[in-house]
Structure 1
């Protein structure tokens, strides 16, 4: 009799309990940089029906900078995502859940090294997805910028001295 009760309880809990989508934790994603002190990377994932918590970890050059980006889901007739919360390094981000799309946006958040983006939400449909972009721009010039500045000042000093002698 006990076994029947346990089996019945297990069946009822799965039949009436909320569905849980699979949570996702990304490996560390290296942002791709350029000579101007900007790093960027796109990302995306899919979910099936239910609640989820996704953790994305990004790494860049590590100098003080600002992060800007977005995460977006475009709703279809059978697939959608609503975001419950979003944080970047513990700072709450702006969320908009609408009839056509759900999105998270952030602009100019101070960062330094590793960024952790945590998204919680609910997926509706068998193949709901979202994608986004993480952009980091440094406020500190790169060493090559300093080299060009010093070279330019040297050329200007040379020309000024040459005019003075003439």
Structure 2
């Protein structure tokens, strides 16, 4: 998990560009976390991946304890407002299948109560990569069409 610690009383955190870790199946992911002291904050997280058109899914949740808490005021991913839930000491942000292509900018605003209030999250980006069987069926279909075209000429 990529860890970044930032923030203090009413301070904001801006991450460096964080590269999402990818696999060969068109999927990239990265975890992140930070903590704050008492006060309002605006945190900006920037993530990058290969840049092909894809969908982003993720969550952010506060790490509550008896001495600290975080309430989120707003959250956006590339300017799109995300759903927020603040119930008691449980605050969370979730998003599903948001179209992205390249750099992701996650901006969170909120308020920290108590010392060392923290939150953590994960971003997953997935492309629509065809299954190997899809390519097999495509090649098989082209083979049949070629066979039929050749047969008609004869």
TM norm. shorter chain > 0.5: yes
Matching of residues 103-142 of structure 1 within 5 Å = 103-141=92-130
Q: Taking structure 1 as the reference length, what is the TM-score of the superposition? A: 0.74
Decide whether the 8 Å contact of 2:58 with 2:124 is kept in 1.
yes
Q: Decide which of 2, 10, 19 is 1:21's aligned counterpart.
A: 10
**Partners in 1 of 2:63 and 2:16 — Cα distance?**
25
Relative to total residues, which structure has the larger helix share, 1 or 2? 1
Quote the residue 1:69 is aligned against. Answer: 58
Q: Deviations over 1:104-124 (max 9, x none)?
A: 000000001000000000000
**Partners in 2 of 1:105 and 1:136 — Cα distance?**
14
Of structures 1 and 2, the larger Rg is shown by 1
Matching of residues 34-73 of structure 1 within 5 Å = 34-73=23-62
Aligned-residue Cα RMSD (Å) equals 2.5
Quote the residue 2:135 is aligned against. Answer: 149
1:90 pairs with 2:68: no
Q: Deviations over 1:8-38 (max 9, x none)?
A: xxxxxxxxxxx94221000000000011100
Structure 2 unaligned runs (5+)? 1-7, 148-154
Decide whether the 8 Å contact of 2:57 with 2:97 is kept in 1.
yes
**Partners in 1 of 2:111 and 2:75 — Cα distance?**
13
Decide whether the 8 Å contact of 1:21 with 1:48 is kept in 2.
yes
Q: Taking structure 2 as the reference length, what is the TM-score of the superposition? A: 0.80
